[in-house]
Amino acid sequence: MTDLFLGVIAFAVLVMAIIQVAAIVFAARAARQVGAAVSRLEERVQPILANLQNVSAEAARATAAATAQVERAGRLMDDLVERVDRTVAAAQETILRPAREGLAFFSMLRNIFGFGAPSQPRPPKHRPASADEEDALFIG
């Protein structure tokens, strides 16, 4: 009977060895397939990454150009505001000051010669209130 048990043990060991060899072969195939899939993925991702880098570089360049344009527009607006301020000041200096001086001169002449002097306001005529008006004002 011991030979029978030894035979069963030997058969079980042989089956276990076959299963282990099969597992190792299956694992090696799976590793090769995973390696191939990773290689294909890398091949497909490389152009995408290159495009993303190009897009990023273009976006950085466009941002720099836009920033420069905004700064230039700001300088132009500051220059425009300064020129408008100078123009308004010059207009006030050349038009408004002589106009004020002319008005002051005419006002002085009017005061000297008495033209357009305001007349004395007349006191309102006091008329006696009628009885109807007094009744409307009565409270009570």
Between CA 71 and CA 77, with CA 73 as vertex, the angle to 5 degrees is 115
Place of tokens 């360049």: 61
pLDDT at 3: 87
For the chain, count helices (H), then strands (E). Answer: 3, 0
pLDDT in tens, 95-138: 877 888 888 888 888 888 887 555 555 566 656 556 666 666 66
Pairwise CA distance, residues 98 & 104, whole Å: 10
- pTM, two decimals, is 0.41
pLDDT at 89 over 60: yes
pLDDT at 123: 60
**What are the E-state strand segments in the chain?**
none
pLDDT in tens, 5-52: 999 999 999 999 999 999 999 999 999 999 999 999 999 999 999 999
Size of the chain in residues = 140
Q: How far is CA 134 from the centre of its chain?
A: 70
Mean pLDDT of 69-89: 93
Mean pLDDT of 47-70: 93
Pairwise CA distance, residues 15 & 8, whole Å: 10
pLDDT at 60: 94
